[in-house]
Amino acid sequence: MPVKIRGSVFFCGHELSTAELDLVRQIVLDFPALTITQLAETVCELLDWRRPSGALKTRECFAFLQQLRERGWLASLPDLQVTCPRGPRAAALADPLVAATPVASPVAGTLSDYLPLTLSLIETRAERKLFQQYLQQHHYLGYKVPVGAQLRYFVSSRQGETLACLLFTSAAWRLAPRDRWLGWDQPTRLAQLSRLVNNSRFLILPWVRIPSLASHVLARAARQLPHDWQTHYSVRPLLLETLVDPARFTGACYRAANWIEVGVTKGRGRMDRHTRIPGSPKLIFLYPLTRQARRHLATPTNSFNGEPHEPQPQSAANL
């Protein structure tokens, strides 16, 4: 059995620390809209509970969360919903619905020719397939099925042309420059991590040639995402984060959209807590969604219910 409770809590032979237990409880409280499977995936990713093969121990964590609920530790755990456990894995793109290849003629012109833009949440199976296909073929990181909280968008012009793709997911467990900028200690990070959202993919489709589009999309997303995230997950985000590979990009569009560069990662994976996954250092950019976001996030509470201010779109450079 994955858990024994005799004064201590164990998962697969590992005794959980107070901080780890607090994180499990906080995830369950902060994301009531997630199924138990999605909660198990999120807990496994944050606490790095993996098999020797590297796969998440989702099945064991699923049973672990259920047993914690039965023992009164997680009274707010949602009722069982039958879902297919899945970890972060490559998307299966067999039998694509639409060939995600460039159109015959580039989509080009001035930004004003295509305004207003629409950010549409992806909800149907056909949309999800096409979204996966675009990222797999045209984003240098490809597409992997994210776990836990996530929202996906298509960005389209007033003429209905798809211009870009956006993926937002739960924030990185630990980023030292970000945590220093926020003034976080461990208890505050545990309490406030759910208020951060990671822009984990941003793709302007390669046949789109519209100057200033990227920063305008970022500004538009910063206005819309807080409402959508709260609607889906009952949590109002206060800060966006993203990582930019300086070997490929300068991050100019994030700077043009008033994101703040706060430092560089250590070159580990976004959820790699034990320096096991090799990588390259990434630039860390943050975007406060309210004027007092930094102050609210520096306190170990989750009481904020304010409205985000509207960022002002500015000129953009290439992503």
Mean pLDDT by 10 residues, the chain (319 residues): 57 82 84 83 86 79 84 69 44 46 73 97 93 94 80 96 95 92 90 92 96 97 97 93 95 97 80 52 97 92 53 36
Q: Which pLDDT does position 74 carry in this prediction? A: 77
Burial of 192 (0-12, 13-18, 19+ CB in 10 A): buried
For 3-19, how does the pLDDT look when each residue is reduced to its tens digit (9 = 90+)?
444 557 888 778 888 88
* pLDDT at residue 57, as a whole number: 85
Residue with token string 């990009």: 249
Question: Both tokens of residue 311?
Answer: 């960022």
Q: What is the pLDDT of residues 225-281, one digit of tens each?
A: 999 999 998 899 999 999 999 999 999 999 999 999 999 998 755 444 444 445 689
